[in-house]
Structure 1
Amino acid sequence: MQQYFIELGEGYGDVYELLELLKTNEHRLHRTFIFSSEIEGKQAISLAATFKPANDSNFMPIYICREGIKEDGEKKSKRRLLFEQAAEQSGSEPIPISVKHSSEFADTRLFFQYITGILRLNNLVPPLR
């Protein structure tokens, strides 16, 4: 199974697009994730959702809003709370994962390969076939 990241944006208005994807594709939802990294003393949050392949395809999309949500301390942002609520309504509890910040990679594609590797190693997405 091949997983591909589809970046919706950096977590501002595009979070609402991700919430709509969760609602309208609830029957295809595989898992949801909250990736967190640290930059300049703040948490940068990425919200992501994986969906089962459509029909007989070998393509598993991973929609992501990358690192646009900043959090200080223990207080969660409103967008994160909305995502957690939408995921739970769709039958998925978001899995929190600490990762390196994307700025540590020369290219965004390398960052997405790094995330895919973490997900595969932890059996959170199917292995490559």
Structure 2
Amino acid sequence: MNTQRFIELGEGLGDVFELCELIRTNSGRLHRAFIFTTGESGVLSLAAAFDPAGEGNFMPIYICREGIRGNGKESARVTRFREAATQAGATPIPVEVRPSKDYSDRDQYYRHITGILRLNHLIPPLR
């Protein structure tokens, strides 16, 4: 069975740099990159899903959750993320999701996003 789990890095600029570095150093494992948007509340989350390492069944999805305000123009953090993903051969996929504040706990929020990604065949189903 594949295990897919979100790993939060944080919301700040340094966290986005770390996510970009993870993409660069693991470019061969990069499955997909995502930009989660929350519509009316206008916050963005950046995320990258990686294929399992070696013979493992663990698919990590690193995320910088809701740390970027969407104000109509692209921030430098989003531009850096796009560049890192492009250099690794991926185009970040925009996915609209509900904001995390709509959920009673973070696990429920991540289950919601995982379901959206699986239904849209953006990450593999559980086996």
TM-score (norm: length of structure 1): 0.94
Return 5+ residue gaps in structure 1 as ranges: none
SS in 1 for 2:38: strand
Residue number among 107, 120, 123 corresponding to 2:121 in the alignment? 123
After TM superposition, list the pairs within 5 Å mapping 1:1-129 onto structure 2.
1-38=2-39, 42-73=41-72, 75-129=73-127
Q: Does structure 1 retain, via aligned residues, the 8 Å contact 2:49–2:60? A: yes
Deviation at 1:12, TM superposition (A): 2.8
Q: Does structure 2 retain, via aligned residues, the 8 Å contact 1:52–1:61? A: yes
The ranges of structure 1 where at least 4 consecutive aligned residues each deviate by more than 4 angstroms after the TM superposition are none
SS in 2 for 1:22: helix
Report the aligned-residue RMSD: 1.0
Q: Does structure 2 retain, via aligned residues, the 8 Å contact 1:42–1:72? A: no
Q: Does structure 1 retain, via aligned residues, the 8 Å contact 2:41–2:99? A: no
Deviation at 1:42, TM superposition (A): 4.6
The separation in 2 between residues aligned to 1:113 and 1:12, in whole angstroms, is 26
Deviation at 1:72, TM superposition (A): 1.0
Report percent identity of matched pairs.
56
More strand by share: 1
Deviation at 1:57, TM superposition (A): 0.8
Return 5+ residue gaps in structure 2 as ranges: none
- In the alignment of these two chains, the number of paired residues is 126
Deviation at 1:13, TM superposition (A): 1.7
